[in-house]
Copies of this chain bind each other. A is one copy, B any other.
């Protein structure tokens, strides 16, 4: 595998995804360029991409629905892969909801050609010569899914502002994929999906 990581900004166009390689210790920000946009973030171990960031294992590690500042996201093998180091957004992020996929859009009445975060993930990995036989549950940055009475979940429009960023430090060499969620039938993106950016800092 290529070990060089592109430092700098990669724009993730609305409804698409992009991937970035990160070395352990490197920092990456996911930036909401226009505001109100959800990003589905996936992370895979560089040495074996079947090992992936897992929401269910992360909850068991941190005893929270979403890690607090300084806490790790762990893989399905319970190894830290990212650490949450900074967040300039209002702080809403989700780790409860599956990535949108063709079956989700079929259920919402869309045509088979509707883009999805699951398809975006596959395409972004393929551009790096990679593939995985499943779609891990993503961490959905800027996604606002409050938990109410009796465990009821609400799907609310993202309130992140233009320029808001959530920043992670890589705890291992990994591949990060960010999908600018194309959901336009449920209001999480305010009805109009927009672009994101992946800002990779120079290695320490």
How many chain A residues touch B (Cβ–Cβ < 8 Å)? 34
Contacts of A101 in B (CB 8 A): 78
Contacts of A129 in B (CB 8 A): none
Interface residues as binary, A98-110 with B (CB distance below 8 Å gives 1, 0 otherwise): 1001011001000
Q: Are B98 and A64 in contact (CB under 8 A)?
A: no
Interface residues as binary, A133-172 with B (CB distance below 8 Å gives 1, 0 otherwise): 1110100000000010011111100000000000000000
| In the bound complex, CA of A202 to CA of B45 (Å) | 46
Additional pairs, 12, CB under 8 Å, beyond known A56-B97, A78-B104: A50-B133, A54-B98, A59-B96, A59-B97, A63-B154, A64-B151, A65-B96, A65-B151, A77-B103, A78-B101, A137-B137, A147-B151
Q: Interface residues, chain A, CB within 8 Å of chain B?
A: 50, 54-57, 59-60, 63-66, 68, 76-79, 96-98, 101, 103-104, 107, 133-135, 137, 147, 150-155
